[in-house]
Structure 1
C-alpha cells in the first residue's frame, strides 16, 4: 500500500515523542521507507525532528537525512554534534556524504571530517569536496566495481564479491589496466559463462562511454539520456578511472534544472521555495516585476503618442489588449520551443533557417487569426478600413513576436546566459511594447492610405 502522510499520523508521532515512548515510535517508523520518514520529519517542529533522528539507527538516519528538505536538514544538522554527524556520514556513499558535508559551514566541515574513523572513506570524501559541485567530479561516487585486465575469471569473481559489498547497486563492472586507466567494461553474462582460466583481457568490451571529471553536469545528463545509461564512469585527463555517476544523481540534476528554468520562465531570479521568508521571495520576484512596470510605462507613453488617433479612431484603443496579449503569447510559445530544443540538444540548422521557419509559421498563424478578426470587426462595426487595419496589424505583430521569441533565446545561449530567462516576463514585456507600437503605427498608416 502506498504511503500517505495524514494529520492523524503526524499527531501520532508527536504524541509518542511527547510521551518519550521510544519503543512504540521505533515500531511505528520501522514500517516506513526512509523517504516516508523524511516526509514525516519535514512536518514536525525542529525539536521533535531531532528527537526522532537521534532515536533511529545510523543506517536509517543517514538515508533519512538525504531525503529531508534542504532547509530542514540544515536546521537538524545544527542540532547534532560533529561526532553524531560523522557517524551518519560513515553510513552513506561518498557522493551523498560529500553533499551533506558541503552544506555545513567551513569550520564545521573540518570538525566533522576529523571525526570520521574510516580513513579511506574520509580521504575519498575530502577528494570529492575539492571538485566544483556543477561538474562530474562533484557528482560522482567513489564506490564502484573495477577489475584488472590481467586477472583471470576465477580471480576476478573472488575479488568483485568483496568490492560489491561497498556498492549499493552494481550497474557495471569497469576494466582498467595496470595504471588504473579505464579501457572497457565487463558483461556479467560473459564473466559467468567464461572459463575460470580465461583472462579478463580476452572477454572485456572495449567500447565504454565515459565523462571527464571537470565536465559540466548538464552535459553528463545529456550523455546518459542519449545512451540510456544507468551509470557512467568518470575519468581524469589521463583516462584514470576516478568514480561513477548513477542515474539517481542525474535525476536530481534534471529536477533542479527544470525547477530553475520554470522559475526563470515565471520571472523569479533566485532559487526559492514557497516556505521561504517574505524578504527572500520579494528579492526573487521584484526585479522582473520592476521590468513589467517599466514595460507598462513604456506602453502608456506609446499610447499617449497616438492619442490624436484615439479621438478619431477610438476602435483601435479597444483592440489594444488583444494585440498585446497575442504578441506576448506568440513570443512565449516561440521561445519555449527554442529553449526546450536547446535543453534537449536537438536543435538543428543555422539561426537564419530557424528564423525563416518561425517567420513562415507565425505568418500562417497570423493570417488565420487575422481573417477571423477581420470578419468580426467588419460585421460588428461595418467599417472596412478599420477591420483591414486591425487585421493586417495583427499579422505583422505576430510575425515580429515569433521572430523575437526565436532569436532572443538563441542569442542568450550563444552568450552563455540561461535561455530559459527568455520564456518569461522578458519576452512578454518586450513584445507588449513593440506590439503596441507596431499596431498603432501600421493601423494608422493603413487607415490614412485607405481614406
Structure 2
C-alpha cells in the first residue's frame, strides 16, 4: 500500500468539490483513504469546509477522524455541530477517546451532549472517566476490556467473552476478577481453547499480571509497558478492583508528547507550542529563556570588565573568548543531555558522587586532547608559548567544570521533583558561559 501524500492539487480539488457541493464525488474520493490521512486533509481546510466533510461522512469514520485532528481544528468543528451530532460521534468512539473530546467541550453543553448518547452504559463510563486527572492512568484508560469471573467454568466464560468482545476493538488480554471485581490475574487464550468446557477458570488462570493504579503517572506507565513489552496493561482502583485498561497506542501518544515537551524545554521554550501558533503565543514561550540569555551575556561582559588589566596587556586573549564560552556550553549540554536521557529511561544507576567522578575523568581526558590541539594552534598563531599554555590549561579547567555542572544540575533538579529537561538548554549554556569566562581570565591572569 502506497502511503498517502497530501498535495496542493489534491487539496484544491477537495475545496472545489466542497464549493460545488459534489457530495457523491467527495465520498467516493475519500472512501479508500485512511481516517488519519483524512484528518490531515481536514486540518488544512477552513472551519466551514472541515465541518462540511465531518457532516457528510458516516460517524463510524468521522469519529476516528476527530481524534486525529489538531486540537484547535477539532474545537472549531465541534463548535459548528449540534449536541446531537456530537453525541453521534461519541457513540462510535472508545470511552477514553470519547472522554477526551467531552473534556474539551464548553461546560454549558457537556451535560446536554451526555444526555443525547444512545448507550447509557457508554455514557456512564465516559462520565466516570472524566473524574480522573488527565495526567494519570485513570485519565488515559478505556473502559472497554474483556474480563471473566474466577468462579465461572470455561463454557460460561466463552459465552460472556463473546458478548463483551462486541464492544472491544482489539482483544489484547483476558482479565480474571473475583466476585468483588478485584483483579486476580489473566487468562491464556490457548488454555481456554484446549481445556474442557466444564473446567473452572480458577484452575487454569495465570495469577501473575502486571497492573497500574488509577493514580499512576503516564511516564511511569510508559516505562513499565516498555520494559515488559506489553500491548495493554490493566488499571485497578485504590482497593484493587479492575476499572479499565491502557493500550500501547495511548502510551505512544504519551511518549511523543513527553519527547516534544523535553525537546522544546531543551531548546529554551517554556511552554508547549507549535509552529502554527500565534506570534504572541510563540513569543511568550521563547522570551523568558532569551531574557535569561541576555542577563547571562550582560553578566559575562561585566565579569570581563573586572579583568581589564589582563585584557589590555594581552589583547589576543579576546580572540579565544568565544571558543572557551562555546566549549563550556557544548560540554555542559552534552553531559546534561546524557543524564536527562538516563533519568527519562530509568537507566541512571549508582550514586551522584560516582557519576560526578566519572564525568570529571571523562572531561579531563577530552579536555586534555582538545587542549593539545588548541595549544599548537595558539602557539603558531601568537608565537607565545606562555599564552598558548594559559589558554590550553583554561580549556581543560572549563571543560571539567562544565561537565560537572551538566551532570549535577539535572540530577539535583530531578531529586527536587523538577523536570530535568529544563537543564539541557539555555540554563546550562548560560551558566557555563559565565563560569567559563571567570575560569578563563582567572587562569590567564595567574599565568600572564
Report the TM-score when normalising by structure 2: 0.99
Query: 2:317 matched to 1:306?
Result: no
Cα displacement string for residues 99-129 of structure 1 (whole angstroms, at most 9, x for unaligned residues):
0111112222222112212111111000100
Structure-2 residue corresponding to 1:139: 140
Task: Compute the displacement of 1:380 (Å).
Answer: 2.6
Q: Does 1:74 align with 2:86?
A: no
Q: Which segments of 5 or more consecutive residues in structure 1 lack a partner in the other structure? A: none
What is aligned with 1:274?
A: 275
C-alpha distance in 2 between matches for 1:330 and 1:139: 38
Name the CA distance, whole Å, in 1 between partners of 2:308 and 2:196.
90
Residue 444 of structure 2 corresponds to residue 437 of structure 1: no
Q: What displacement does 1:36 show?
A: 0.7
Q: CA deviation at 1:337?
A: 0.3
CA distance in 1, matches of 2:143, 2:118: 17
Kept in 1, the 8 Å contact 2:146–2:173? The answer is yes
Aligned partner of 2:370 in structure 1 is 369
Matches of residues 303-342 of structure 1 in structure 2 within 5 Å?
A: 303-342=304-343
Supply the distance in 2 between the matched residues of 1:328 and 1:224 (Cα, whole angstroms).
Answer: 35
Aligned to 1:389: 390
Q: String of CA shifts for 1:121-161, please: whole Å, max 9, x gaps.
A: 11100010000000000000000000011111112111101
- Alpha-carbon contact 2:310-2:444 (below 8 Å) kept: no
* SS at structure 2 position matched to 1:314: coil
| Distance in 2 of aligned mates of 1:347 and 1:127 | 37
Give 1:8 deviation, angstroms: 1.3
Per-residue CA distance 1:136-195 (angstroms, 9 max, x = gap): 000000000000111111121111011111001100000011111100001111111111
1:93 aligns with 2:94: yes
1:196 partnered with 2:197: yes
The DSSP-based 3-state class of the residue aligned with 1:204 is coil
Runs of 4+ in 1 over 4 A off after TM superposition: none
User: 2:141 touches 2:246 (CA, 8 Å); kept in 1?
Assistant: yes
Aligned counterparts, 1:148-163, within 5 A: 148-163=149-164
The Cα of 1:306 is off from its aligned counterpart by 1.3
Q: Which residue matches 2:45? A: 44
> Matches of residues 145-294 of structure 1 in structure 2 within 5 Å?
145-294=146-295
Measure the CA separation in 1 of the matches of 2:83 and 2:360.
61
Whole-angstrom CA distance in 2 between matches of 1:273 and 1:379: 48
Aligned partner of 1:130 in structure 2 is: 131
Which deviates more, 98-107 or 333-342?
A: 98-107
Shift of 1:443: 1.4
The aligned runs of 1:8-47 (5 Å cut-off) are 8-47=9-48
Query: Helix, strand or coil: the match of 2:316?
Result: helix
C-alpha distance in structure 1 between counterparts of 2:10 and 2:172, whole Å: 37
- Give the 3-state SS of the residue equivalent to 2:62 in structure 1: helix
Q: Deviations over 1:240-287 (max 9, x none)?
A: 000000000000000000000000001000111111111000000000
CA distance in 1, matches of 2:6, 2:118: 37
Question: 1: distance between equivalents of 2:162 and 2:118?
Answer: 24
Task: Quote the Cα distance in structure 2 between the aligned partners of 1:293 and 1:311.
Answer: 25
Distance in 2 between the 1:233 and 1:142 partners? 10
Aligned-residue RMSD, C-alpha: 0.8
Worse overlay, 111-120 or 367-376: 111-120
Distance across 2 between alignment mates of 1:13 and 1:192 = 50
How many residue pairs match? The answer is: 447
